[in-house]
Every structure is written in structure tokens, then in C-alpha cells.
Amino acid sequence: METMTHASVLARFGYAVSDPTRARILLALAEAAAYPSDLAESLGVSRQSMSNHLTCLRGCGLVVAVPDGRRSLYELADQRLGHAIKDLIGVVLAVDPSCCAPDGRCLT
């Protein structure tokens, strides 16, 4: 596994959370570890979509799959991520409405 510089780590994290579904997965896993099927049901996405998003998050080094019999339980790769995510949510941002849509997409 490659050790990344600080800027690369932030860029990878930014990419991971740029998708609303992946952001919701990280928020859910910040609360508790979960099985993919449970995450898919609670977030209202297909199991295939959940699998693709979890693969991306694993590749970004943000989540890990913990074998549990024939299933895998997903959790944050480092519990400090949960604290960081919760801290980020608490940040109040002054957003220029002409630049960002309500769902966070950039309009420029």
C-alpha cells in the first residue's frame, strides 16, 4: 500500500465524499459498522450500487471490510475518520448560491 502526501490524502477524501451516496455511507459508518445489504436498504440504493460505492471507498482507503462468516462487515478504516466527519458537519459554511447547488454540486 502506498503512503500518500497530505495533499493527495485530502484530494482522495474529497473525491470520495464528492458523491452524495458515498458521503451518506461514510456518515452511516461514522455511527456504526454495517453490512452492505443493510446500508443499501437504509440509504435506498441497489445492492450493486452499494457494492460499487464501497469498492471506491475501500480503494480510497477510507473503509475496510471485516470478514464475518460468509459476509463482510464494513467500518471506517480509522476511527479518527468518524470524528473528522462529525467535525466537518459542524462547520458552518458561507456558500455563494450562484456557485453551489443545494445538494453541494458546483455550478461553475
List the chain domain ranges: 6-89
Number of Cβ within 10 Å of residue 5's Cβ equals 8
Q: With 80 as the cut, is the pLDDT of residue 82 above it?
A: yes
Would you say residue 41 has pLDDT above 80? yes
Residue percentage of the chain with pLDDT more than 90: 55
pLDDT for position 1:
54
Average pLDDT over residues 35-44: 98
DSSP 60: T
Report the pLDDT averaged over residues 39-62.
96
Q: Quote the mean pLDDT of the chain.
A: 88
Given a cut of 90, whether residue 5 has pLDDT beyond it is: no
* CATH code matching the domain that covers 6-89, chosen among 1.10.3720.10, 2.60.40.1180, 1.10.10.10, 3.90.550.10: 1.10.10.10
Residues linked to residue 100 through DSSP beta bridges, in sequence order: 106
What is residue 61's DSSP assignment?
A: T
Q: How far apart are CA 106 and CA 103, in angstroms?
A: 9
